Amino acid sequence: MKLNLRPYSKTTFGLSLGMTVFYLSFLVIVPLSALFLKSANLGWSGLLEVFSEDRIQKALWLSFSAGGAAAAINLVVGFLFAWVLVRYEFPGKKILDTLVDLPFTLPTAVAGIALTAIYSPNGWIGKYLDPLGIKVAYTPLGIVIALVFIGFPFVVRTVQPVLEELPKELEESAYCLGANRLQTFTRVLFPEIWPSLLAGTSMAFARGIGEYGSVVFISGNLPGKTEILPLLIVTKLEQYEYAKATGIALLMLVLSFSIMLAINFFQSRSSRRLG
């Protein structure tokens, strides 16, 4: 039986495009436009004054450095988890696969409280680290651990389907041509996985720099030391300094968009080379 598939009409395309643009404007463009308009009340001099504050600069550096460090850790550990879940069969595999999604379902504030209780000097893990001089809670290290926790599933769930769809014939052909395991991975498998791995890492990074709930408890919120940008924005809002809060958010938006644009550029370039 032959199906008569007709291309979509111009009316269907126009309706679909109209709905897409409407929801994009309603959910993204309009809120971002309001952010720019509110920040404009400060003027250029006011924005420069906000950006030059030492407290804001330190919070900016902490947010992006901790987010980058957590994304790098998730790149390695997330790939390892995805590889184990796809390539091996072992008891409890289904339970482990389900636990990967736990940071998605667990409220971030609950995660922050749990991590603080575990890594505090009297916590389950912290009481063993404290005698060694390793402090996790209320330090930048604790922030990185919290960001690793909430960003970890992005890498696993992005890489896992790609690994599952890779044909085993690729590896078999490489082995037949004399390649060892390392050469097969670096020259055959990794180029296929790299675009999805980069996409998952970028999503983990984007989630990390804007995270608030899981970080606010374990960071300690010490100005100039463990204060992150989202917390500083909330502080400015509580002090009714709305223009300054939107100015900080604008700075965070511009930097985040620039970094994500660069990551997407390298991702698309890798995909084109692969194609």
pLDDT at 149: 92
**Where do the structural domains in the chain lie, given as residue ranges?**
45-272
Look at 73 and 48; give whichever has higher pLDDT: 73
Q: What is the pLDDT of residue 140?
A: 92
- Cα–Cα nearest to 209, from 72, 71, 38, 17: 71
- At 271 the pLDDT is 63
Query: What mean pLDDT do residues 84-98 have?
Result: 89
pLDDT greater at residue 225 or residue 42: 225
> What is the topology classification, in CATH, of domain 45-272?
MetI-like fold (1.10.3720)
Q: Are 248 and 236 in contact (CB under 8 A)?
A: yes
Q: Do residues 137 and 120 touch, judged by C-beta distance below 8 A?
A: yes
User: What's the mean pLDDT when you consider all of the chain?
Assistant: 83
Most confident among 78-82, 104-108, 167-171 (mean pLDDT): 78-82
pLDDT band at 79 (very low <50, low <70, confident <90, very high): very high
Structure tokens at 58: 């330190």
Helix (H) or strand (E) holding 159: helix 140-165
The rounded distance, in Å, linking the Cα atoms of 215 and 113 is 9
pTM of the model: 0.82
Residue 57 has pLDDT above 50, yes or no: yes
Q: Output 16 or 273, whichever has higher pLDDT.
A: 16
At 214 the pLDDT is: 86
Q: Are 209 and 67 in contact (CB under 8 A)?
A: yes
- Count of alpha carbons within 13 angstroms of residue 152, beta-carbon side: 18
Percent of the chain with pLDDT over 90: 17
> At how many degrees (to 10) do helices 43-51 and 54-87 cross?
70
**DSSP label of 19:** H
For residue 129, give the DSSP letter: H
pLDDT tens figures, 183-241: 877 787 888 888 888 888 988 998 888 888 888 888 888 888 888 888 888 888 888 88
The predicted pLDDT at position 1 comes to: 46
DSSP state of 2: -
